[in-house]
A and B are shown apart, each in its own frame.
Chain A
Amino acid sequence: MKKNESYEEFVKGIWRDNPVFVQVLGMCPMLAVTNSAINAIAMGMASMFVLVGSSFLVSVFRHVIPKQVRISCFIIIIATFVTIADYTLLALVPKVHKELGAFIPLIVANCLILGRQEAFASRYPTRLAVMDALGMAGGFMLALFSLGAVREILGDGALFGFRLFGESFEPWIVMILPPGGFLTLGVILLFFNWFKYKKDEFLADVAEAERSGS
């Protein structure tokens, strides 16, 4: 039963409560750094590190942090991990760090991360908090990657820098530019909502059939 519980917390972030496609959080990095798959993955990794680290710390100290100043405490914890992520990326992959630019320090302002601290990590045991952070960050990374992959494939004819369609591919310039981010995100959200609508319709039909059958 205990194992199921942490599994549940993990999975909900990836699909049912996906931070981007369902909760529509973290739009700023979502639109800004997803012009290539590699940037999206780097951003996802950095966010995952920050989210898991701060969820862990916040959960450990949840009985110590005074209620009145909890938000500033969360922010300080998050900022610590963001700084670590910033310098680590700068040291290990300076090229990616340069591409992501200001958006790495801006992870601290990602409402997804603060939201998880306030809504989950500060109220649940450490194990669950970490599982929840992993799931949420995984869902965030999945969303970043699917957006980045679509934009890189259409905008550059490549995925992770490998040319997919040969040299004479005509790049869709708009996909690399900010409007392409909005377009792609809009279409993906449209698809998710349509999917949810169809699922609800289907479930309602099933319930109806069961009721009339019994």
Chain B
Amino acid sequence: MKQRDPDLLLFHAPLLRQGMTTPKAMRDVIIALLPATGASLWFFGLAAALVIGSSIAGAVLAEWLFADRASRGESLRDATGILTGLLLGLTLPPGLPMWMAFLGGFVGIALGKVIWGGLGHNLFNPALLGRAFLLATFPIAMTTWVSAHPEGGFFSVYAGNLALPFMQAQVDGVTSATPLGLLKFEQEVTPLTNLMFGKIGGSLGETNGVLLLLGGIYLWLRRDLDWRIPVGILGTVVIFSAFLGLFDAERFPTPLFSVFSGGLLLGAIYMATDPVTSPVTPRGAWIFAIGTGVLVMLIRVFGGLPEGVMYAILLMNAATPLIDRYTQPRVFGHGIEKES
């Protein structure tokens, strides 16, 4: 039984009309991601379109399949499925088989959103949940980074992309480690300009830091994101790595390297700020952001994995209800504890 929209809406004052709706906000985020998506096409050719397209298709299919008939059109129209698929696609390695990207999108929406009760009820970011599932399920395919600019120009596709469903990917000849992997396992530092403009190995959408930042500024200007979260995460990471640099500048990454490498910008600007899975209070947002930043650095520097943005955000997602609970602003005139 679905409650029908009432014909007459009654509200109490103030009767200000706020134009922002979920579909509009989602569309804004998609627009903000377009430059980075374009860059992934430029760097990885048609393969990027195939991987991102499959993950969007998987997400939208899950969205359509599990919606009840009455709300089916609505849940597709608000574009959250497309956004989840796009975000997930941007975190995937370019040589990933299309069927895995499809599965990731499907699982992300099915287990990350629908099962919790749909939009607004989920505890974890669906795109990151899909990615975590893929990483746990196909650890090798998910950490094989092919180098940018495939041999045959734009229209060539990595052999791995076309693997049949449930079949293994053929590993391409040329692979290249991510800057974080290079630093962690081979102590090799990637030049900063390469990091900023994307001449590196890595996930589809994470390689071009500048375009991601531009998208973030667009979202901030449109008031679609809570600026405290990206600023808090990036600030924590900068301070943390500057602090580590005091001890051993050789071994630990410089602050700028930390910011521009890996999925930090993508995660901090587009995923940690998901309004459903991040705290609603300003104080909570700061706690959330600082916690994420600290976890990212802890995993990167002291953990076994080269990159920790995904797990950091997912862990803080889990803490979000608790943060929200403890950062509720005090209602005026209420709640002062009396000494007894």
Contacts and interface: CB of A to CB of B under 8 A. Distances in A.
Report if A and B associate in a common complex.
yes
Interface stretch (A80-88, A114-122, A127-135, A162-170): A162-170
Interface size class of B (residues with CB under 8 A): 10 to 19
A174 B138 CA distance: 8
A174 B166 contact: no
Interface string B148-181: 0000000000000001001111000000000000
A49 interface: no
A157 to B, nearest CB: 8
Interface in B69-104: 97, 100
Contacts, number: 31
Contact of B138 (A168, A173, A177, A179): A173
A63 to B, nearest CB: 49
A175 interface: yes
Contact of A169 (B100, B115, B168): B168
Interface string A156-196: 01000000010011101111010100010000001000000
B138 A169 contact: no
Contact of A172 (B97, B137, B169): B137
Contact of B133 (A165, A169, A174, A190): A174
Contacts of B141: 170
A165 B164 CA distance: 12
Residue of B133, B137, B169 most packed against chain A (CB within 10 A): B137
A174 B167 contact: no
A1 B271 CA distance: 64
A99 B139 CA distance: 24
Nearest to B111: A183
Contacts of B139: 173
Contact of B136 (A157, A168, A174, A190): A174
A170 B166 contact: yes
